[in-house]
């Protein structure tokens, strides 16, 4: 295996981790106006479930982008040039969502909070949809010429396959958020999250099965290669885990349901990257213009240095994030009415007045 292949796998792992961890953040934000039913205490509890971890989860996105830039500069240049407008929309949405988390509790006015709640909702909905559209187009391919330049336009991205990809990620992340809330909350909010997860799971199963089946039928590297077989196996595993998550949720096994859905997202993402390999950005103009792990990679010395640095620092980053999840592993409960203050707690930490209930995981 060449180092370029190793870094293709590493980038796939980074994107998979980002979708699993940021996926439930997006889901909580999307469900905020629906599960809270206008109740400020419920909103505070929902935001506090992701408060300690949402910004750390976004590190996976930054690392995936940085690794792509360093390991595959041609891929990075072509992709970020072609997807400039969709990626800009995603970036603006993420910025607005982050600002909303920090600012919604700065004032007591109901109109102020409702405005920032809308920003949290849209800042979660837009990326959840557009990431699926973007990856659908990466797997399907985009029009590239011999100079590795994008020759299409914004409407090129709005094809049926990519739109189905967007619907799939939106449904998967919403389900992930509902399962996370069922795992991290109590009482009525927990029951509403369970019921929502059961309903959304149907959409996620149908959309996910259709998208992965379309991928396997049309966009595999070849019909006989080992990567094609691996892609089909991973897609089947993703479907099985998704069905298992729905069944576990109905049985009240929230931890099992959340873990199964996380594995479904991991294996579905791995299936897409496996179907893509050894290409990194196919060209619909001509297969000869496609970018691959060979012609888009950095020099061998660059990849070697990156590998050493990653081996040293990546375990430290993973250990720190795992410790964070362990510290905030318990359920978040609403504070008693006597402890409520007019201003909302900032979402950067769990409220001291809202102790965690045991058995969150």
Degrees to nearest 5, angle at CA 75 with 71 and 79: 135
Q: Which residues, other chains included, contact 334 with Cβ-Cβ below 8 Å and sequence gap of 6+?
A: 41, 42, 44, 45, 186, 187, 189, 354
Q: What is the CA radius of gyration of the chain?
A: 21
H-assigned helices in the chain? 3-35, 40-50, 54-57, 59-71, 73-82, 84-103, 110-140, 160-184, 187-218, 226-250, 254-276, 300-327
CATH of the domain at 232: 1.20.1630.10
Do the domain assignments include residue 339? Answer: no
Calculate helix-pair angle for 40-50, 160-184, nearest 10 degrees: 100
Does the residue 49 lie in any domain? yes
Range of the domain at 181: 3-141+156-333+346-357
Q: Residue 306 and residue 280: Cα distance in Å, rounded?
A: 19
Q: At which residue do the structure tokens 């837009």 appear?
A: 126
In a domain, 176, yes or no: yes
* Domain presence at residue 17: yes
Q: How many Cβ atoms are within 10 Å of 83's Cβ, its own excluded?
A: 21
- Rounded to whole angstroms, how far apart are CA atoms 305 and 24? 34
- Predicted confidence at residue 221, as pLDDT, reads 54
Whether 151 is in a domain gets the answer no
107-113 contacts: CB < 8 A, separation 24 or more? 107/343, 108/342, 108/343, 113/40, 113/43, 113/344
Low-confidence ranges of the chain (pLDDT < 70): 1, 219-225, 336-361
What domain count does the chain have? Answer: 1
* Per-residue pLDDT, 344: 42
Separation CA 214–CA 157 (nearest Å): 17
Query: Is residue 122 included in any domain, yes or no?
Result: yes
In a domain, 229, yes or no: yes
The predicted structure's pLDDT at residue 147: 86
- Residue 132 neighbours by CB under 8 Å, 6+ apart: 162, 165, 166, 167, 168, 169, 170
């Amino acid at each position: 295996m060449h180092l370029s292949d190793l870094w293709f796998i590493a980038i796939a792992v980074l994107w998979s981790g980002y979708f699993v961890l940021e996926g439930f953040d997006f889901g909580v934000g999307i469900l905020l106006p629906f599960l809270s039913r206008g109740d400020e205490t419920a909103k505070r509890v929902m935001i506090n479930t992701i408060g300690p971890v949402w910004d750390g989860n976004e590190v996976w996105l930054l690392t995936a982008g940085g690794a792509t830039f360093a390991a595959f500069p041609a891929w990075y240049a072509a992709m970020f040039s072609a997807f400039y407008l969709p990626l800009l929309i995603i970036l603006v949405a993420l910025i607005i969502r982050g600002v909303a988390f920090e600012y919604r509790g700065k004032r007591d006015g109901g109109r102020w909070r409702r405005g920032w709640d809308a920003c949290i909702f849209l800042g979660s909905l837009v990326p959840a949809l557009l990431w699926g559209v973007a990856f659908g187009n990466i797997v399907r391919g985009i029009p590239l010429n011999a100079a590795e330049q994008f020759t299409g336009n914004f409407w090129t991205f709005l094809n049926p396959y990519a739109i189905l990809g967007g619907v799939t990620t939106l449904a998967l992340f919403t389900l992930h958020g509902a399962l996370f809330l069922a795992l991290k909350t109590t009482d009525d909010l927990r029951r509403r999250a369970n019921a929502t997860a059961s309903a959304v799971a149907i959409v996620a199963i149908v959309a996910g099965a259709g998208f992965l089946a379309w991928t396997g039928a049309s966009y595999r590297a070849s019909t006989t290669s080992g990567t094609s077989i691996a892609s089909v196996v991973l897609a089947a595993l993703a479907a099985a885990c998704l069905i298992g998550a729905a069944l576990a949720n109905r049985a009240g096994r929230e931890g099992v349901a959340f873990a199964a859905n996380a594995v479904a997202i991991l294996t579905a993402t791995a299936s897409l990257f496996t179907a893509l390999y050894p290409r990194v950005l196919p060209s619909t103009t001509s297969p000869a213009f496609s970018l691959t792990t060979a012609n888009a990679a950095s020099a061998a010395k660059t990849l070697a240095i990156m590998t050493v640095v990653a081996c040293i620092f990546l375990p430290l980053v993973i250990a720190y994030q795992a410790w964070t999840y362990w510290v905030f592993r318990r359920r978040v409960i609403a504070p008693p009415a006597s402890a409520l203050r007019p201003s909302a707690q900032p979402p950067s930490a769990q409220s001291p007045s809202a102790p965690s209930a045991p058995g969150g995981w």
